[in-house]
Amino acid sequence: MRNIIYWILCAFLTVAIAIVSLRYVTNFWLLSFVYSFQLHLGVVFVAASLVILAVKRQIYGFILLLVSLLLIAHGVVMLREFSQDGRAADTPPLFRLMSFNIAIDNWKNSTEITDMVIASNADVVNLLEAKPLTFHLQQLFKAYPYHIGCDSGKDTCDTLVLSKRPFVSRQVASMGSLRKNRLVISSVDFGGETINLVSAHLTKPYFDDFQMAELEDLGKVLGSIDGPLVLSGDFNSSVIAPSIQGFLREQKLITIVPEPATWPVAAGALGIAIDHIFARTPLHLRSLKRLDDNLGSNHAGLIAEFVLDKGGETSPAK
């Protein structure tokens, strides 16, 4: 009986490991979200391997344990690939940016979200699914005189970018063919330095191959931008998802690792980061933190500080 249980458990675990390991063969869109959980699943697989070995100690159980550990190790390696160095930690910030998907049905917390945004002291705020803030826009515009989005009523209020300083340039565009106007490209002058700011809200990766098409369009936009760059928003995938990995490599984007987990909010620090703030040199993140309260959203918000590195010297705010 023990032998039967052993091989049944081995069979189930083998199939599970094989599904996660498909990432090394193909980036199948239906499994793309599963790939974002490789570290978490690796830990589950290790625990399952130990249970199998407790039932019966045979070589195949040890092989499953080894493969599970390798999945975890490679997950850590993939996370560190996009980590910047620590040179910016002690430098005064040039500006602060907040990015937060407030959830499109989060009407009851709209007042608290508005107050939090104003109190954040962020220079630029990137709000996604901003429709619940429709009746608080004038209050926000007093604190942030310059804005992009939410100009034509609640039905077109999705991405809202707020700034305390004038926009040097501004554009609203679309990625892919599923949803419109979820890409905002702008630039702001901070103390004589023009910083390019891009806000993006990507489709869930298991919605056919729409996210891949969006990443392709986003890559074309970023490839046409010269100078310091910030990309923030909701990607609905972690940085270890194969499609996101390829995109970050191509665009030479970096972040602070480990990134704060943003989803699911109930998991806290044990969740994964699907909301991101990336930079491209000579811009560097000085800090990256999760907001203290998700205020009813199913995502946690992020706030980051940036410094500009010019030939090894950073340019602080004036």
| Whole-angstrom distance, CA of residue 285 vs CA of residue 96 | 10
Average pLDDT over residues 99-127: 97
Lowest mean pLDDT among 142-156, 192-206, 241-255, 277-291: 142-156
The answer to whether residue 48 scores a pLDDT higher than 80 is yes
The mean pLDDT of 32-54, rounded to a whole number, is 95
Whether the pLDDT of residue 154 is over 80: the answer is no
- Whether pLDDT at 314 is above 50: no
Assess whether pLDDT exceeds 80 at residue 212: yes
Cα dihedral 104→106→110→112 (10° resolution) = -130
Nearest to 299 by CA among 220, 232, 250, 246: 232
Structure-model confidence comparison of residues 148 and 26, the more confident one? 148
Predicted confidence band at 2 (pLDDT cuts at 50, 70, 90)?
Answer: confident
Please tell me the predicted confidence (pLDDT) of residue 313.
Answer: 44
The answer, yes or no, to whether the previous bond of 282 is cis (omega within 30 of 0) is: yes
- Average pLDDT value for the chain: 92
pLDDT at 316 over 60: no
Q: Are 303 and 117 in contact (CB under 8 A)?
A: no
pLDDT confidence of 318, banded at 50, 70, 90?
A: very low
Residues 78-84, mean pLDDT to the nearest whole number: 90
Which of 97 and 310 is assigned the larger pLDDT? 97
% of the chain exceeding 70 in pLDDT: 95
Confidence of residue 138 (pLDDT cuts 50, 70, 90): very high
Residue 207 pLDDT level (bands cut at 50, 70, 90):
confident
User: What integer is the mean pLDDT of 172-193?
Assistant: 93
**Quick one: pLDDT at residue 1?**
84
pLDDT of residue 82: 92
